[in-house]
Amino acid sequence: MTQSNFLFLGDSLIADFDWQTRMGNFNILNYGMPGETAQGLRNRLPAIAEEVHAPELILVMIGTNNLIIEDYSFLEPLRQINIQLTSRYPTAEVITNSLLPCQLPWLNMETLQRMNTAIETMTRQTGSCYLDMFSKFNPDSDFFQSDGIHLQPKAYDLWSKSILEFVAFLIED
């Protein structure tokens, strides 16, 4: 049986985890890049498309580094990323992950929730799917490392389990 190609796109939150070990039923193509912004990922898409020809599933997790540099204009590049992915890979399921409740002193949870609502709306407009991990991550939990951004192993366990459940739902539907 051939494994489905599952393309992961994003920043260090994607790059820093061994998704293949946790999701052995898929061939994981990890194109996470530490420090990546939405604009940077949008600019990298043509090169990624030259290397990745037929993913069945795509997960996009981007925007955290934009928040770190206080750039709140990343929703338009994220929309462009989704449009490019759904156009380039019309049979793939594109899943856009919510922002996580990272702990930045200048950013409150209400602002993050509003941004996630805008991301969810954008996914509906572009024909992609939205995975809400914001509501599953308690910002006061020990899911985050001391920097308030990067994740502890137990957070990755919850995230990868949630992705697998979401994908099972998509495949069943």
pLDDT of residue 170: 81
pLDDT of residue 115: 96
pLDDT along the chain (173 residues), means of 10: 87 97 95 98 97 96 96 96 96 97 90 96 96 87 89 95 93 66
Q: Out of 3.40.50.720, 1.10.1370.30, 3.40.50.1110, 3.40.50.2300, which CATH number does the structure's domain 4-167 have?
A: 3.40.50.1110
pLDDT of residue 20: 96
pTM score of the predicted model: 0.94
Domain boundaries, the chain: 4-167
Pairing state between β 129-131 and 4-10: unpaired
Alpha-carbon span 5 to 2, nearest angstrom:
9
pLDDT of residue 145: 92
Alpha-carbon span 38 to 80, nearest angstrom:
9
